[in-house]
Amino acid sequence: MRIFKSTAITFLLGSMLSSLTYADVTVTTGKTMIPDGEATHLQDITVSNEHLAFALAVESSAPWGVPRGALVDLAAVKNGQLDLDRIAFADFIPNSWSAWPNSRKSVYIIENTNERAVIKVSRNFGNVDITTWYTLASGSDAIELKTVMTNQGKDKLELTSGFTLWPDAGTMFAVPGLGEDGAVSPNKTLSDRTVGYDRDWVFALHAPYFDRNTYGGRDMYLGHSLKAGESRTFEAELQVVPNGDLAPVVEAEAKRRGEPTGSITGQLRANEGSIPDDAIVIIEKENELYGWTLAKEGEYSIALPQGEYQVYGTATGHANSEVENIKVKADGTQTLNFTNLAAPGTLSVSVEEASSGIAKDARVSIVEGQEPPVAFLGKRSFFTELLPIGQAKIELAPGEYTISIDSGAGFISQMKTLDVKLASGKTSQQNVKIEQVTYPNQQHWYGADLHHHGNILEAVTPPETVVRSQLAAALDLTFISEHDSTVNQEIFSELSAQRKVPFIPSIEVSPSWGHMNPFPIDADAKLTADPGTDDVQALVKDMKAMGAEVIPMNHPFNDYGYYTNLANNNVPGGATDAFDLLELNIAVDNEPTLKKAHELWDNGEAMYFTAGTDTHDAWNQLSGSIRMMAHVAGELTPLNFAKALKAGHGYATQGPILYPQKIMFGEQAQTGDEWPVKVVAVDGVKEVRMLSHGGEIIKTITPEDAPQKLELTLSIPEEAETWVSLEVEDKDGSMAWTNPVWIP
């Protein structure tokens, strides 16, 4: 790697820089001065002005195996002080999360003056040259981004390319007006920016080229062709706001797009005249969230492109004001005051099992009623406390609600719903009894969500909330697998120990060509290999050195799945036989994985299932909505659980619970053998299917009236070849998929 300098670089210690006022643009090398920054190498580059600072990982490794040269740190400057780094990375991705093969890079400092800095990073994506310019001017609150892709190969390429913004905190606000699949519908998008935010910062990626917005708003992509010898240019801006106000973002977008604007101003007050916490004015357009502005000291002002809007005031725990329908005219100003916001009420919940009276962990969610339109105003889902078990007190806006209580709902019990009316300053006490339908532990079956994140990189759930979420899902072991990090292992172990629940330590090793969750790893394990540069054999060796009993292959067929990239010759080191388990993942299409498992079983290869949700935000995703059940005959420990899965003694499920008798999954049987199996589906058993060689269905049982419990005695047919497995579907379409029983 080479760094080319067109002007001298200022070398200063980060500790000195962190307290300076950023009036001029500065370029520095070495460990970044941005607090919490990941750019720590002597050749890394930090650029700053009076509004923001960003760092490029010239030699530090970027997350998820992204090639070096990525923007890995971004922070606002507040009162002359650098705020914390708030991103995992922001980069140009050449093809839908694939950045490999990558074999070279060069970094050029094109300009370095008090008025402007320009850094040029050149890399390759196979035969495609990718050059990105980062420009920061004095006085600007945005980094100008420009990337040119040039196809130096002989073949026409079909690509999905664009800039990304992956915060490591806060929440994403995706492009308003998108379709459900993230694709742009003609004349439908209300904006061309995506936003990461919290109450004290906003980062906005303005990307006018885009035609799709994926991964929860983080990727601003364009689907395009690139012929041999052809070049394509992408231009964008990465804007930084030092608080949670979207007014500067909306104003910048309107200016960039040449849209005339008018203003609305006014006051926001609670019903007793006080200024509530997080007072905010919500702007909707075509009944979709368009933006918001903070009411600082109860006063607000925002410039909006001319057009029609719906506007209302709200605040943390307060009832929304009435909605005002307005028409904004160019250069016009109008005043809207929201001065009677009703103060919060309190929902107090106690949850216990109906027959025993034992306290139960639970997830408490708003089904109907006022939900916070902006994440820092509050959540729509909550969890009972770690201790005391089964208790929760939640402040909500006054009004009428339908509340759901989920304590293993869909697996061992049914969802409970409550109709609740909350009044300002009052507490509504709700005592909830959950009727448990089945008790897997009594027959030595235990469940875990074997792909779950906490708060590292783009994951945003604190460890205690993760544990509470997993317990509310009625999981029997807790599990964490942060991207390329074991930093949270100790706290997860301590939290789980408070409830005497076994904790499975893991790590998601995350090169861009295939993710893997080795477990259980040693309590003090550290990843020493580099997912950005090392090949698959080196990573496998490191995972085994961390003490892993099993190495699962995560989401094998998505963009950054091992089998996808192996087929495209993008896996450094090629094929390996080190994987023990194939993941069924709630967030992806599992059909290719099921088909691959059947092919492997046809050849007698003992590659068994694992299952996980890939949850990054436990408030908005359901921990345990797919889980792996394992039969552990002896003591339930992380190692024994892993050994059971390695032996095939398990099944993946979205709801149905299975109790095989006499013949265990992963073991052998003969054609003609009778196989008793008990099936429990809280939502009713719709169908049981027996599969064999090639994934062919060789037997189907469709019970009348979809009972919750079904006792079967299955005869293994003579036509069964190599293996048989079961699929169970409940009345709501939730599935269970078993490992094979081998037919010698």
Q: Which helix (H) or strand (E) holds 395?
A: strand 391-396
Judgement on whether residues 389 and 461 belong to the same structural domain of the protein: no
**Structure tokens belonging to residue 81:** 């002080």
Give kind and range of the element (H or E) at residue 87: strand 87-89
CA dihedral 513, 517, 523, 524 (to 10 degrees): 0
pLDDT band at 22 (very low <50, low <70, confident <90, very high): very low
The predicted pLDDT at position 19 comes to: 44
pLDDT of 3 higher than 90: no
Contacts of 743 (CB under 8 A, 6+ apart): 668, 669, 670, 671, 692, 716, 720, 721, 722, 723, 724
Residue 115 belongs to a domain with what CATH number? 2.70.98
Separation in Å, CA 625 to CA 285, 593, 718: 34, 18, 36
Structural domain containing residue 173: 2-241
Same domain? 294 vs 356: no
Do 380 and 305 have their domain in common? Answer: no
* 129 vs 152: CA distance, rounded Å: 7
Residue 733 counted as domain residue: no
DSSP for 494-553, written as a single string: HHHHHTT--EEE--BB--TT--B--BSPPTT----S-TTT--HHHHHHHHHHTT-SB-EE
The strand ranges marked E within 516-669 are 552-553, 581-585, 608-612, 627-631, 650-653, 657-660
Structural domain ending residue among the three candidates 196, 213, 241 = 241
Query: How many structural domains are present in the chain?
Result: 4
SS3 assignment, position 171: strand
**Residue 547 belongs to a domain with what CATH number?**
3.20.20.140
Q: How far apart are the C-alpha atoms of 372 and 312, rounded to whole Å?
A: 13
What integer pLDDT is reported at residue 183 of this predicted model? 72
Query: Tokens 């304590």 label which residue?
Result: 407
Within 10 angstroms of residue 713's Cβ, the number of other Cβ atoms is 10
Contact 327/307 with Cβ under 8 angstroms?
A: yes
Paired tokens of 631: 């039969």
Say whether the peptide bond before residue 101 is cis (omega within 30 degrees of 0).
yes
Residues 495 and 378 in one domain: no
| Cβ atoms of 641 and 723 closer than 8 Å | no
Span 602-630, pLDDT tens digits = 999 999 999 999 999 999 999 999 999 99
Alpha-carbon distance 43 to 59, whole Å?
A: 6
CA–CA separation, 408 vs 309, rounded Å? Answer: 42
Last residue in a domain, options 381, 414, 434 = 434
44 in the same domain as 187? yes
Q: Which residue has the tokens 């697996």?
A: 411
Please report which confidence band the pLDDT of residue 181 belongs to, taking 50, 70 and 90 as the band edges: low
Cα separation, 131 vs 732, in Å, equals: 49
Nearest residue to 45 (alpha-carbon basis) of 36, 61, 33, 57: 57
Q: Specify the pLDDT at position 65.
A: 82
Instruction: For residue 7, name the pLDDT band (cuts at 50, 70, 90).
Output: very low
Do residues 738 and 725 touch, judged by C-beta distance below 8 A?
Answer: yes
pLDDT value for 23: 72
Same domain, 336 and 351: no
- Exposed, middle or buried, 497 (CB in 10 Å: 0-12/13-18/19+)? exposed
Q: Residue 189's pLDDT band (boundaries 50, 70, 90)?
A: confident
Q: Is residue 40 part of a domain?
A: yes
Instruction: Tell me if 97 is assigned to some domain.
Output: yes
At residue 2 the predicted structure's pLDDT band, cuts being 50, 70 and 90, is very low
Q: Is residue 555 part of a domain?
A: yes
pLDDT value at residue 271:
86
> Do 164 and 93 sit in the same domain of this protein?
yes
Please check whether residues 322 and 428 belong to one and the same domain.
no
Q: Same structural domain for residues 580 and 456? A: yes
% of the chain beyond a pLDDT of 70: 96
Q: What residue type is assigned to position 325 of the chain?
A: N
For residue 386, the domain's CATH number is 2.60.40.10
Per-residue model confidence (pLDDT) at position 273? 87
Cβ distance 58 to 4 under 8 Å?
A: no
Q: Which helix (H) or strand (E) covers residue 641, if one does?
A: helix 638-646
Provide Rg for the chain, Cα atoms. 27
d(CA 454, CA 172): 17
* Residue 187: per-residue pLDDT: 60
Q: Which residues contact 447 (CB under 8 A, 6 or more apart)?
A: 411, 440, 474, 475, 476, 477, 624, 627, 628, 629, 630, 653
Which backbone phi and psi does 710 adopt, to 5 degrees?
-145, 125
DSSP, residue by residue, 273-326: S---TT-EEEEEETTEEEEEEE-BTTEEEEEEESEEEEEEEE-TTSPP---EEE
pLDDT surpasses 80 at 565: yes
Query: Is 368 inside any structural domain?
Result: yes
Per-residue model confidence (pLDDT) at position 277: 86
Distance CA 204, CA 240 (A): 7
Q: Using an 8 Å Cβ cutoff, are 404 and 440 in contact?
A: no
Where is the domain boundary, 212, 241, 270?
A: 241
**pLDDT for 186:** 57
H or E segment and range at residue 717: none
Q: What is the pLDDT of residue 272?
A: 84
Q: Spell out the SS3 assignment of 251-282.
A: HHHHHHHCCCEEEEEEEEEECCCCCCCCCEEE
Q: Tell whether 97 and 205 lie within a shared domain.
A: yes
In tens, the pLDDT along 399-458 reads 999 999 999 999 999 999 999 999 999 999 999 999 999 999 999 999 999 999 999 988
Residue 510 has pLDDT above 80, yes or no: yes
Tokens of 267: 């006051």
Reply yes or no on whether the pLDDT at 15 is more than 80.
no
Cα separation, 368 vs 258, whole angstroms: 40
Instruction: Report if residue 635 sits inside a domain.
Output: no
Q: Would you give the DSSP letter of residue 707?
A: -
Which carries the bigger pLDDT value, residue 272 or residue 491? 491
Q: Give the separation between CA 83 and CA 200, rounded to whole angstroms.
A: 10
**What is the rounded distance in angstroms from the CA atom of residue 226 to the CA atom of residue 236?**
20
Q: What is the pLDDT of residues 308-362, one digit of tens each?
A: 999 999 999 999 999 999 999 999 999 999 998 999 999 999 999 999 999 999 9
pLDDT at 506 over 90: yes
Q: 427 with 476, same domain? A: no
Quick one: pLDDT at residue 542?
Answer: 97
Residue 732 within a domain: no
Which residue is it, tokens 């893997």?
A: 516
Instruction: Indicate if 349 and 317 belong to the same structural domain.
Output: no
**Spatial distance between the Cα atoms of 720 and 670, rounded to a whole number of angstroms:** 9
Range from 46-50, 100-104, 735-739 carrying the lowest mean pLDDT: 100-104
Q: What is the mean pLDDT of the chain?
A: 94
On whether residue 196 sits in a domain, the answer given is: yes
Hey, how many other C-beta atoms are within 10 angstroms of the C-beta on 355?
Answer: 10
**pLDDT tier for residue 532 given thresholds of 50, 70 and 90:** confident
